[in-house]
Amino acid sequence: MALPGTDTLLAALCRDALVPHAVLRSRTKPPVGGTGDETADAYLAGIFGMICAMEGETGDRAKQARFVERAIEVQEDWIEKLQQQGRRGLIDLPAQRTSSLSLGRLQTWRDELRATEPDLLGQDVIEGRRASA
The mean per-residue pLDDT over the stretch 77-97 comes to 91
Cα distance between residue 55 and residue 46, in whole Å: 15
- Give per-residue pLDDT as tens, 99-119: 999 999 889 888 887 775 444
Classify residue 1: in a domain, yes or no.
no
Classify residue 12: in a domain, yes or no.
yes
Query: Does residue 89 surpass a pLDDT of 90?
Result: yes
Per the structure, the complete domain to which residue 105 belongs is given by: 6-113
Cα distance between residue 78 and residue 102, in whole Å: 11
Classify residue 101: in a domain, yes or no.
yes
Cα distance between residue 60 and residue 66, in whole Å: 10
At 121, phi and psi to the nearest 5? -65, 140
Classify residue 18: in a domain, yes or no.
yes
Classify residue 92: in a domain, yes or no.
yes
- Bridge partner residues of 28 (DSSP): 130
Mean pLDDT score across all residues of the chain: 71
Classify residue 13: in a domain, yes or no.
yes
Specify whether the CB–CB gap between 51 and 110 falls below 8 A: no
Classify residue 42: in a domain, yes or no.
yes
The model's pTM = 0.64
Q: How many domains does the chain have?
A: 1
- Give per-residue pLDDT as tens, 9-39: 555 555 554 445 454 444 445 555 667 788 8
